[in-house]
Chains A and B, each alone.
Chain A
Amino acid sequence: NAGVTQTPKFQVLKTGQSMTLQCAQDMNHEYMSWYRQDPGMGLRLIHYSVGAGITDQGEVPNGYNVSRSTTEDFPLRLLSAAPSQTSVYFCASSYSQGYQETQYFGPGTRLLVL
């Protein structure tokens, strides 16, 4: 299994541009989530999904959209990038009830917004 994969690994955007961060898992996990990690800080939850077709907001959802059309994929869309969105983004998944189980993390996407 490839586990949780994320693309791209690194991206530079200009303010106002939009882009989609891709996340995929091949473990048939129901629960998927997106976090951002800023320097010297822990992870903050952006959005999560408990199954295909179901998404919900986390702690810092503003400026981001998600959708979950399949079990495998959970893309994160930046609608109009801002410098405050410069961060490292991690996708994670777990079998179910994500808050009660081990989370499997992807390698991360480093985003720089100029």
Chain B
Amino acid sequence: SQQGEEDPQALSIQEGENATMNCSYKTSINNLQWYRQNSGRGLVHLILIRSNEREKHSGRLRVTLDTSKKSSSLLITASRAADTASYFCATDTGRRALTFGSGTRLQVQP
């Protein structure tokens, strides 16, 4: 089974609304990363949060990490149609590689 699991699997919102995606993982981590994938494209790194950090911001993105609950959330504020994409969390478990979840498909309606 996947180390990271995103929730929900799919999310549809209106432009201007906030979008929240969650990621749960099973084992302890050194860091957690969020990536975005537009349809038919490669993944693009959004943000990295280390295990000793609780919250991180980057533009309209806000990521939180709760290591006690083994979970993270990605909040996109004031969403735009261009934010339509799949979003993946990836965890480092110290095995010299990242493990990706199955992703959340976000649809932002104009």
Contact = CB atoms under 8 A, between A and B. Distances in A.
Q: Do A and B truly interact? A: yes
Interface of A: 4, 33, 35, 40-45, 48, 50, 56, 58-59, 90, 92, 97-108
Given A99-B30, A100-B92, A102-B48, A90 B97 contact: no
A21 B72 CA distance: 34
A45 B97 contact: yes
Interface residues of B, number: 27
B42 A42 contact: no
Contacts, number: 66
B97 A33 contact: yes
Interface in B84-107: 88, 90, 92-103
Contacts of B101: 42
B102 A40 contact: yes
A106 B35 CA distance: 13
A105 B41 CA distance: 9
A104 B46 CA distance: 11
Contacts of B92: 99-100
25 contacts: A33-B97, A35-B100, A40-B102, A41-B102, A41-B103, A42-B2, A42-B4, A42-B100, A43-B88, A44-B100, A45-B99, A48-B96, A48-B97, A98-B97, A99-B93, A99-B95, A99-B97, A100-B31, A102-B45, A103-B90, A103-B98, A105-B35, A105-B42, A106-B42, A107-B42
